[in-house]
Amino acid sequence: MVELGALSLHLGLLLVLPPLLLGIITKTKSIAAGRRGPPVLQLYRDIAKLLGKGAVYSKTTTWIFRAGPIVTLATAVGAGLLAPLVGPAAPLAFAGDVVLFAYLLGLGRFFTMAAALDTGSSFEGMGASREAAFAALAEPTLFMVLAILCIPARTPSFAAAWAFLPTQEWISAHPPLIAAAAALFVVMLAENSRIPVDDPNTHLELTMIHEVMVLDHGGPDLAFILYGASIKLFLFASLIVHILAPIPAGPAGLPVFLLGVATVAVAVGIVESTTARLRLLRVPQFLIGASVVAALGLLVLIFRGTP
């Protein structure tokens, strides 16, 4: 458990910052394309506007459709309480928190997919099926990344992993972390439906993955979905920052953290500006490639010995 100040800082960052990240990505893409683009704070306005609206539900749907966005947002916030933001410790830290982190996101995904199937639309079924396929392939990679982080500390916990190594020799003492960061970046792109796995801006339902699953949601429900998705992206970005540059606790860590997360967002923007989306049939190869990178990191870790 952490004290009250750190807890409120964690909650504040977790609840306020995420939509900004998507703003930075969009801005990066706009600049790269030579456009001015929407304001960085656009997503906050979208969410506020949607929260003020009513809702329209399909006659086919049941309570599952209404529960989907709620569970997605709740699990994203819940996972946010387990992941470290500023400093190595999260408000809820225990042996096994890394597993709970991954599985809470899985619970959210389960309900998003179920809500999509609840509409009876074959487009949404298509999206759910693709999401299920890519998530199942990304999951082993995520766990290999977690293994690289946690095995030296012998405790599957974020706090233990970051308490284990001295800050200054982080990367040099532990090269598999580079593989972990690279693999996690790919998992982040896949889990958050970014290019090259999915295109968040596509306008053709046939090619969508995540967007098509939420076609029928509107009003506050859509606001929850957008907000939850931004939190998920924020959590992955902050994990990547933690892997590449350990963040000291307290006020000293805050600027490092903000700068780091913004950098990850810019990197996603650059990737999205410079690569095209992969054909659907190629996505599994991309994801398996990432798992090979993570497995390589693990092999180095095991056979070179832990630091």
Partner 1 sequence: MHSISLTVTLVSLLVLFGSALSAAVARSNRAALAVGAAGALLGSVLGLAGAALAMLTGTRVDSTLPWDLPVGNLRLGIDALSAFFLLCIFVVCGLAALYGVGYLRGYGDRRRLWPALVAFNLLEAAMVLVVLARDGVCFLLAWEIMSIASYFLVTFESERDEVRRAGTTYLIASHIGVLILFALFALLGRAAGSWAFADLVRSGTLGGSSLCFVLALVGFGTKAGFWPLHFWLPDAHPAAPSHVSAVMSGVMIKMGIYGLLRVLTFLGSGPVWWGALVVIVGVVSGITGVLHALAQHDLKRLLAYHSVENIGIIALGVGLGMLGAHYGNAQVAALGYAGGLLHVLNHGLFKGLLFQGAGSVLHATGTRDMSSLGGLLRRLPLTGGTFLVGAVAISGLPPLNGFVSELLIYLGAFSGAGALPKSASAVALMVLPALALIGGLAAACFVKAFGVVFLGEPRTTAPATAHEAGPAMRTAMATGAVVCLAIGLWPAGAVRLVSGAAEQLTGTDTSRNLGPFFSITLAATVVVALIALIAALRAALLRARTVQEATTWACGYAHPSPRMQYTATSFADPVLMPFSHALEVRTHGGPPEGPFPIEAHFEKHLGDMAGERVLVPLWRRFLRLNSRMRVIQSGRTQLYLTYVLVTLVGLLLWQIGGSFGG
- Interaction with partner 1 in 77-96: which residues (CB under 8 A)? 77-78, 81-82, 92, 94-96
Using CB under 8 A, count the residues that bind partner 1. 90
Binds partner 1 (CB under 8 A): choice among 83, 225, 291, 297: 291
Span 96-125, contacts to partner 1 by CB under 8 A: 96-97, 99-100, 102-104, 106-107, 109-110, 113-114, 117-125
For residue 7, state whether it binds partner 1 (rule: CB under 8 A): no
Nearer to partner 1, 128 or 241 (CB): 128
Nearer to partner 1, 215 or 254 (CB): 215
Span 58-77, contacts to partner 1 by CB under 8 A: 58-62, 64, 66-67, 70-71, 73-75, 77
For residue 4, state whether it binds partner 1 (rule: CB under 8 A): no
For residue 137, state whether it binds partner 1 (rule: CB under 8 A): yes
Query: Which ranges in 97-175 belong to alpha helices (H)?
Result: 97-118, 122-150, 158-164, 170-173
For the bound state, the minimum distance from the C-beta of residue 158 to partner 1, rounded and expressed in Å, comes to: 13
Residue 76 burial class via C-beta count within 10 angstroms: exposed 0-12, middle 13-18, buried 19 and up: buried
Span 214-243, contacts to partner 1 by CB under 8 A: 215-216, 219-221, 224
Distance CA 19, CA 50 (A): 14
